[in-house]
Amino acid sequence: MKVLDHGYVELVETWGSDQAIIEAARMSTNKGFVGWGTPDAPGDEKLLAYLYNNKHATPFEMAGMVIEVKAPIFVFREWHRHRTQSYNEMSARYVPLPNENYVPDLANVLDRAHSTTKNKQSQAVGSILDAVNADIWIHALKAMYAAAEACYQTALECGVPKELARLIVPVGRYSRMRASANLRNWLAFLTLRTAPNAQWEIRQYANAVASLISESFPRTYNLFCEERVVAHV
């Protein structure tokens, strides 16, 4: 799933299922999974909803997924604050990072500069940004990326060790990683990173993660969405 200008989120594998959550919860009764029902005759979806809505969270640790992500380094630095996930990131100590850098589009920059949100992290420090100055900044950003790449390549060509040559690489440079978590903690990630006050870029990745979860664990994901709707009523 394409995200931003050069990024993506890709499913590597899943384990468990909505059914496996029911089976884990019923270990105490040795009953197992009985079956999903219908609107007229509900089945184990009632138990799944009970578990979710009453915060009986451990059965949701019996399912999960591994994904591969390509994102700017600054997005990873936010993502890695979720210490309930396991990560392996591409290392510029061993391989040069490709010359791909995140450049926000003009409309996005202006929209965020003019937003009336109370999110202090997104508020501008100086005067209100206009299209001319936003365009100047975008061109300056691209020039900085080009200068950083030239310095990076010069260092590599001169024999500077990769672990030192990378010092010039900006946080807008794309990197890649794999991330693994159980379903309980993926939903916790979504709770924080799809919220309106999360930075726009990581919200785009969280939305892609949500799409993968909805495909692999549709009943649990529907409960998550219902909870979010109720919370904002």
Catalytic residues: 193
Q: How far, in Å, CA of 218 to CA of 157, rounded?
A: 50
Please report where in the chains the tokens 């997005």 appear, as a residue. Answer: 75
Instruction: Give the total residue count for the chain.
Output: 233
Residue 201 dihedral angles phi and psi, to the nearest 5°: -65, -45
- CB–CB of 129/202 below 8 Å? no
**Distance (Å, whole) CA 25 – CA 51:** 8
Instruction: Tell me how many degrees the CA angle 82-85-88 measures, rounded to the nearest 5.
Output: 110
